[in-house]
A = this chain, B = another copy of it.
Amino acid sequence: MKKIVNVGIIGFGTVGSGVAKILLSKGKLLEQRSGISLCIKKICDKDFRRKRPVNVPKSLLTKNINDILNDRSIDIVVELMGGIHPAKEVVANAIANGKHVVTANKALLANHGREIFDAAHKKNVFIGFEASVGGGIPIIKALREGLIANKVNAIYGIVNGTSNFVLTRMMDDDLSFSQALRLAQDKGLAERNPRLDIEGIDSAHKLAILALLGFGVNAKPKNIYTEGIKNIDLADIQYGKKWGYALKLLAIAKLVGGKLELRVHPTFIPSRHILANVTGEDNAIFIKGDLIGEALLFGKGAGSFPAASAVISDLVDISRNVDEFSRKVKAEKVYFSGNVKGIEKIENLNTRYYCRLLAIDKPGVLAKISSVFAKKEISIANAYQIERKRGQAVPIVLMTHEAREGSIRRAMEEINKLSFIAKKTVCIRIER
């Protein structure tokens, strides 16, 4: 006996048409594998004139969202509109109407995840959001189910494919940032307005969702320290590479002394680190747990089919709990408050730093710089003056031992004021 579950899709764009295509073409396979027949009841969008890569019977299409929200036969609403409004209201409405919800909307969940999860729990409906982080990578499932016995100590990785593509092209092909970005745009990997990706905002959204799941911390994106890649200079990537480091935009959530570090920024990692070999548009996320040690999940972080793969996995999981006769299965809480004592200030971060100074080449320069660092109790691991051009500005690259971010910032302020410093110093954090 097969179970029929009715689905309404709201938003018929890249991911929505991928979901429709798979449900229509792979329905038999899914039914064989899960015993569930996922039936598209309605698809809603503002505009159906644009050509989609899937042929859908006209009778399924509607421009009226209420055709889905008020259809009592629809069990699960798939929200793929993106953006916060009106997606938030649509999801709230679906939940209020007792419908399960699957969404890929990271901006929505990053900003309003907790209230949505709470509302769903109260209404005893399930929320699936595998596609909101890491595209087709089953990272949400791993965190919620596969690693359920673990106390999570850290979650970190590459969660934005566009930035990773740009940094990879800079590192491998010696392109400038703007050249690499243009290439990404030509390939359709970056939007015309690439702000969300290159300024780290998209990564911060995903980190907020992971922080809620892994640590029970309701960190809105605005509370996450976020630095993008748009000011990255090719020279720094090249120097780093020379000394065995790769530059990656990392999203990091790490428990330190009971508080949660939450930060998104360009980071140097050793070139033998697994994340260093995560290139192009790929994503990869590490989870550190008390039982498993370190685990990593890697894959395509975006794209129609990877995201649709995640949406359908959610649909099947939820359908297993949809009972036509009763609703016996209790929808579980999505997140659990841990004992985290709040979000740590970025000033209290302790890590190593790469600094590139541009200084007039004259005797005593390094001594002066070193003394500023020493005063702030920052110890220098190594320093290189790249070339000699007496009387002219030359780059000096140095790496510190572990130091406090606050100290580094104050040291930089002082150093940037020194008469022989020709340009604002570049600082990049290093992780092991």
Contacts and interface: CB of A to CB of B under 8 A. Distances in A.
A309 B297 contact: no
Interface string A271-299: 01110111100001000011111111111
Contacts of A151: 29
B299 A148 contact: no
A22 B149 CA distance: 8
Binding site secondary structure of chain A:
mixed
A317 interface: yes
Contact of A295 (B272, B279, B299): B299
A299 B294 CA distance: 6
A293 B137 CA distance: 10
A291 B273 contact: no
Interface in A290-343: 290-300, 303, 305-306, 308-310, 312-313, 316-317, 320, 323, 328-330, 332-333, 336
Contacts of A32: 336
Contacts of A29: 149, 151
Copies in the complex: 2
B309 A299 contact: no
B306 A292 contact: yes
B145 A313 contact: yes
Interface string A124-137: 00000010000111
B150 A146 contact: no
Contact of A291 (B272, B306, B317): B306
B317 A328 contact: no
B291 A309 contact: yes
Contacts of A272: 277, 279
B295 A296 contact: no
Nearest to A1: B330
A138 interface: yes
Contact of A298 (B295, B312, B330): B295
A231 to B, nearest CB: 27
Contacts of A148: 30, 33-34, 312-313, 316
Contacts of A145: 138, 141, 313, 316-317
A375 interface: no
A241 to B, nearest CB: 13
A5 to B, nearest CB: 14
A300 B292 contact: yes
A158 B154 CA distance: 24
A147 interface: yes
A328 B145 CA distance: 22
Contacts of A135: 292
Nearest to A337: B32
A35 interface: yes
24 contacts: A22-B291, A29-B149, A33-B333, A136-B147, A136-B289, A141-B141, A145-B316, A147-B309, A148-B313, A149-B316, A274-B274, A276-B277, A289-B309, A291-B308, A292-B299, A292-B300, A293-B305, A293-B306, A294-B298, A294-B300, A296-B296, A296-B297, A296-B299, A328-B328
